[in-house]
Structure 1
Amino acid sequence: MPAVYELELIVDPDAIDPLGHVNNITYLQWMQSAALAHSAAQGWPHDAYVRLGAGWVVRSHTIEYLQPAYAGDRVIVRTWVADMKRATSRRGYRISRKRADAGEPE
């Protein structure tokens, strides 16, 4: 798989929690979407795993929130396979806002 896969999204107003920023559950949904898209881009869509009777199971999450995202923000979800063994793998993520003026992540 490529070193890093990128998925660009625009924060939907429905993703905002009562504190006015993206809800933590939304970050997990974005991570899942990026992981599935990354796998599919490499020829392993969800149905390929189903045909094999295989799939991925998440054992744990560790998320460090550095800056909030808000409705209308463009965000980039980056993901990569950090390591892979016979029956386990570890996936990394970085989610950042995309600055409108430079097109670069914040």
Structure 2
Amino acid sequence: MVWDLATPFVIDLNVGEDDIDGLGHANNAVYVTWLERCAWRHSQQLGLDLTEYRRLDRAMAVVRHEIDYLASAYQDDELQLATWIVDWDQRLKMTRRFQLKRPSDGVTLLRAQTTFVCIELSTGKPKRMPAEFIEGYAPALQTAAS
């Protein structure tokens, strides 16, 4: 598979019956769910799961999605969604890019960018990233830059 950037983190997806809207293709809200799933799985793979977020009283919360829907997905399509951490100030903000492809024909269905801000879970207010976030996310940024 050829991706927009090198060394992506990739998850496999299958478009189910419940993902389809009245127009016969995957509903746009489903794509947002897939973006969240991919970001979470990548964070988990980096050692930053929900348990760790709670222990640290910190989380990366979405503040902005930018999504370009390029082609439709249909029931039973097998898809791959890739993500990269492309920008990160190591204080508050992080930006991920995403690319959704259908391997059967190589078509890119979606490109997206999501901006996250580190928050304190107990207050919901922006709060500086703990050292564990910096250590955990750093390898992914290095990979995206390579």
Q: Settle same-fold status: TM greater than 0.5.
A: yes
Who is 2:125 aligned against? none
Q: Give TM-score, length-normalised by structure 2.
A: 0.66
Contact 1:75 1:98 in 2 (8 A): yes
Q: 1:28 corresponds to which letter in structure 2? A: V
Consecutive unaligned residues in structure 2, runs of 5 or more: 1-5, 108-146
State the alpha-carbon separation in 2 of the partners of residues 32 and 70 from structure 1: 20
1:34 aligns with 2:34: no
State the alpha-carbon separation in 2 of the partners of residues 39 and 66 from structure 1: 26
Who is 1:93 aligned against? 98
Pick 1 or 2: higher relative contact order, CA cutoff 8 A, min separation 6: 1
Q: Give TM-score, length-normalised by structure 1.
A: 0.89
SS in 2 for 1:62: strand
1:40-82: per-residue Cα shift (whole Å, max 9, x none)?
Answer: 1111112111110000111111111111000000011101111
Cα deviation for residue 105 of structure 1 reads 3.2
1:43 aligns with 2:44: no
State the alpha-carbon separation in 1 of the partners of residues 106 and 41 from structure 2: 20
Who is 1:10 aligned against? 14
SS in 2 for 1:56: strand
Taking only aligned residues, the RMSD between alpha carbons, in angstroms, comes to 1.4
SS in 1 for 2:63: coil
Cα deviation for residue 3 of structure 1 reads 4.4
State the alpha-carbon separation in 2 of the partners of residues 95 and 40 from structure 1: 20
Consecutive unaligned residues in structure 1, runs of 5 or more: none
Task: Report the structure, 1 or 2, having the larger strand content.
Answer: 2
Contact 1:76 1:105 in 2 (8 A): no
Cα deviation for residue 98 of structure 1 reads 1.8
SS in 2 for 1:33: helix
**After the TM superposition, which parts of structure 1 deviate over 2 Å for at least 4 consecutive aligned residues?**
none
State the alpha-carbon separation in 2 of the partners of residues 36 and 70 from structure 1: 24
Who is 1:79 aligned against? 83
